[in-house]
Structure 1
Amino acid sequence: MPDSTMPPVLRSPTWARLTRFSGKDTVFAADLFAREAWATLARELGDGGAYSFAEATALMWVRPDAFAAGVARKVLAATQAAGFRPLAVRPVRVDRCGARALWAYMCRWATVERLWLLDALVALGPGLLVLWADDTGEPAAARLTALKGSNAAGRRTGASLRDVAGSPNRLLTMVHVADEPADVVRELGILCPWPDRAALVIEAAARLTDGACCLLEDAIAAVETELPTLGTPAPDTATPSPGDLTAGPLERRWAALWAAAHRWPLLTATAGPAAWPEQESRSPWR
């Protein structure tokens, strides 16, 4: 175990070990969130333990729209039914800058309207961060990503968590997961500050070893206290303005967000620059 009296160092792993995509390792080696979170993992678990943790853990953020729609518990139950075991859980609030960081590499097709909507979504209240183990023995993050389903309802095949949640479109996706081990590391750096991240990692690593589950109920209830179920808003024929997303009571903002997510353009005709070659092959239009 590293000396706890020493300050953390912004170190980097061999990122190619944690990603299957050519070029992504180079991008993450320069990403401050990724480097910061790896420093936490290596400090608390040692380098070998850090690799094992990233490879054996799946990260999920049950988003504020899932709580507003009243489907968060269904998503969590479906995840457990699929063979995932909860290791650690925290209510986590993401601000505008956190939203930009979380989806920095994946918003190359996003319109400005979509960014406004993401800001309004995270402003609704907290979501729920859960770290999972996959007791089927498969790579945890990859299998949870497959279970999550596409952000476009028409592209989903088979049952998915987003089908369980009733996700209607690319904006109201209800659940976010880290795609692979490299993303598990980076997103821990975005979603948790240093002390909270260290405590979360230590707790989850202990349960990875002993086969225990964490209890979800208290954390779920804490989020629900701040963001109660609002349900699916009634159809509204009026197109919301940006001000409708930020002003007034929670119920009004949620209704405006729901309406705007169905009316505002979410995809640009051409993409911004790709961060690594694999992204060039991803097009929401194909």
Structure 2
Amino acid sequence: MTTVPAARDARMPGESAWPALTASAVKRELFGEDLYFRESWADLTDVAGPDAAVAAGPLALLSFKCDGIAARRAGRTLDYLAEHGFSILGSARFRHNRHSMRELWRYNWHVYATDRLALMTLMHSVTDSVLVIARDDRYDGVVPGSVRLADLKGSADPAARGPEHLRSVLAPPNKIINFVHVADEPADIVREAGIFLDRPARRELFAEVAAASADTATERAYAEVGRLEAEYPATGFELDAALDLAGLRAGPDAGARLRFAASGGERLTWDTLCTLIDPSDPGLGIWDFVRIATEVLDADRPASADLLPPSSGEEWRARRV
């Protein structure tokens, strides 16, 4: 009898591999059918071999949002990684589009009002950006590097994080402009690499990580950040300055309405905001528009919590008890 080989896309983590990739039974079920995870997992196992789940344990993935590039927070973030025991093993340049950002945050953005979705579509596609894969040099074999970095990142809500967290160190102006994204678990690293990069770039990144040349990879990551910052103008995300400029461009009545909304007054809709100030007005600047928009739009809608709640180091340690 001739044995028919299994189809390539049927190659998925086995029963012994899934527990190393996620602490969530729901995530395992969803990712088992997810196109991005399946494609990326096939590439990862080609490069890393049958022990790919084990190899992913110490790894973490961080990507810079466009606002992080514009605010010049990328270099400080790379410094933070080194200070907290992470060595960069690979990096890649990418650019979001309206589809990729919705896939990346598929299980989070359901809480956003449609006006905020319009804003996200704008602000996450302004510039190219960089993702880095790092190795947790303090990996204890229990808490994955991705989970430890996600804990270190801290909440987007300033009241829910401490001064030691990455987002506190980066000092974002509010919870919408927050500069960085971090994959929650090893399974998320696999899926997100499948979203950020096409197959050739993804396999190239995995090969770079497998080569584990931290000095070279670190130099490349800083160089790419430098190139991006040379390409795209910087911003300080100063609200008063943005409102002053908007008032000059749109007139005193529009400026007064924007200031009232930004100070806690009546919320504006996306369409109303765009009639008051034009996001394509070169005299205003895209980031001044974004800064104002984050203060005047209704951000969220009544909805359940994250469809896939993030894990934590505490949860992963509890699994070993």
Q: TM-score range by the shorter chain?
A: 0.7 to 0.9
Query: In the alignment, what sits opposite 2:232?
Result: 227
The aligned counterpart of 2:291 is: 258
* Distance in 2, Cα, partners of 1:255 & 1:53: 43
Give the letter for the 1:108 counterpart. Answer: H
Aligned counterparts of 1:201 and 1:251: Cα–Cα separation in 2: 41
CA distance in 2, matches of 1:275, 1:250: 40
Q: SS of the counterpart of 1:9? A: helix
Deviation, 1:127, is 1.7
Q: 2:185 aligns with which of 175, 180, 200?
A: 180
Question: Cα offset for 1:225?
Answer: 2.8
Q: Which range moves more in the overlay, 55-64 or 14-23?
A: 14-23
What's the TM-score, normalizing by structure 1? 0.86
1:9/1:188 CA distance change after superposition, 3 Å: same
Q: In 2, Cα distance between the equivalents of 1:143 and 1:77?
A: 16
Partner of 1:119: 121
When Rg is computed on C-alpha atoms for both structures, the one with the higher figure is: 2
| 1:12 and 2:15 are equivalent in the alignment | no
The range that moved more, 125-134 or 232-241, is 232-241
1:130 aligns with 2:135: no
Q: Assess if the C-alpha contact under 8 Å between 1:85 and 1:135 holds in 2.
A: yes
| Cα distance change, pair 164–12 in 1 and its aligned pair in 2 (3 A) | same
**Secondary structure at the residue paired with 1:168?**
coil
> CA-atom RMSD, angstroms?
2.3
1:144 aligns with 2:149: yes
Aligned partner of 2:104: which letter?
L
Structure 1: stretches of 5+ with no match in the other structure? 1-6, 280-286
Q: Distance in 2 between matches of 1:251 and 1:128?
A: 26
**Matching of residues 84-233 of structure 1 within 5 Å:** 84-138=86-140, 139-207=144-212, 212=215, 214=217, 215=219, 216-233=221-238
Q: Structure 2 CA distance, aligned partners of 1:126 and 1:187?
A: 16
1:198 CA drift (Å): 0.3
Q: 1:21 aligns with which of 21, 24, 29?
A: 24
Cα distance, 1:248 vs structure 2: 2.9
Take 1:185 and 1:250, find their aligned partners in 2: how far apart are those partners?
A: 41
CA distance in 2, matches of 1:125, 1:251: 17
Indicate which of 265, 269, 281 corresponds to 2:302: 269
Which residue identity does 2:116 align to in structure 1? R
Q: Residue 80 of structure 1 corresponds to which residue in structure 2?
A: 82
Q: Percent identity?
A: 30
Q: 1:250 to 1:146 in 2, by over 3 A?
A: farther
Higher mean C-alpha displacement, 130-139 vs 240-249: 240-249
Q: Secondary structure at the residue paired with 2:50?
A: helix
Q: 1:148 deviation in Å?
A: 0.7
Extract unaligned runs of 5+ from structure 2: 1-6, 244-254, 262-269, 311-321
Q: C-alpha distance in 2, partners of 1:137/1:178?
A: 16
Would the alpha carbon gap of residues 114 and 16 (structure 1) be closer, same or farther in structure 2, given more than 3 Å must change?
farther
Q: CA deviation at 1:200?
A: 0.4
Instruction: Give the TM-score taking structure 2 as reference length.
Output: 0.77
Matched, 1:30 2:33: yes
